[in-house]
Amino acid sequence: MIAKITRGKNPGDIGAYLHGPGKANEHTYTAAGQRVSGGVVVGSNIGMEGQTDPRLWAGELRKALNTRPEIKNPVWHASLRNTATDRTLNNDQWADIGQSFAEDMGYAKHPWVMVRHEDDHVHIVVNRTGFNGQFSIIRECTPPLCAGNSLNSSSTQNRAKPKVRFHGEKWAAHSSNSAQSVNSD
């Protein structure tokens, strides 16, 4: 499994991108046997499964974001793609990976959604600020390394062969072994 991790400011922007046609018309999914442009939510902890309108889930993420307006880049985004040798996962299997990933990364109590495109990739969007205003970062390692450990664990459980590669993450390494609240980015 290949992961690309980025951060951003606005859940609406990433939502518009994920549910739009993509940069090269690669954003499609299957509904009722037909290929449809955009993306569909296949997992979340805010009850958005099946949604194709990003305004609904982006609004929920924005509510949490508004509890800590001083935080820069509160939106965390991971693109997960199967390698050519991985088996095809169904929506429930992707959703299970999303839940395990959120738990392993320490974001399970923060609002998150997983949007599916094609048969081989999904996007997880997490607000790093919870509804209670708590802001968390992963402490044990840089998020790409933690994500790799999580994907290796989640992928192994689902019999996909992990191959983790990261791009674009700017976080620094930390030494403690748990998620911890902080005051700012």
Torsion of CA 149, 114, 60, 57, to 10 degrees: 160
- What are 78's two structure tokens? 């991971």
- From the centroid of its chain, how far is CA 168? 14
Domain that residue 27 falls in: 2-181
Residue of 77, 60, 21, 70 whose CA lies nearest to 185: 70
Closest CA to 79 of 37, 23, 128, 18: 18
Domain CATH code at residue 74: 3.30.930
SS3 breakdown of the chain: % helix, strand, coil, rounded to 5?
30, 25, 50
What are the 10-residue block averages of pLDDT along the chain, 185 residues in total?
83 92 78 88 95 94 91 88 85 90 83 91 90 67 44 45 36 28 37
For the entire predicted model, the pTM comes to 0.75
Residue 15 to residue 167: CA distance in whole angstroms = 20
Instruction: Calculate ∠ Cα 156-162-168, nearest 5°.
Output: 130
Quote the number of domains for the chain.
1
Determine the pLDDT at residue 101. Answer: 82
Note the pLDDT of residue 116.
94
- pLDDT recorded at residue 119: 82
92 DSSP assignment: H
Calpha distance 27→96 (Å, rounded): 22
pLDDT for position 16: 92
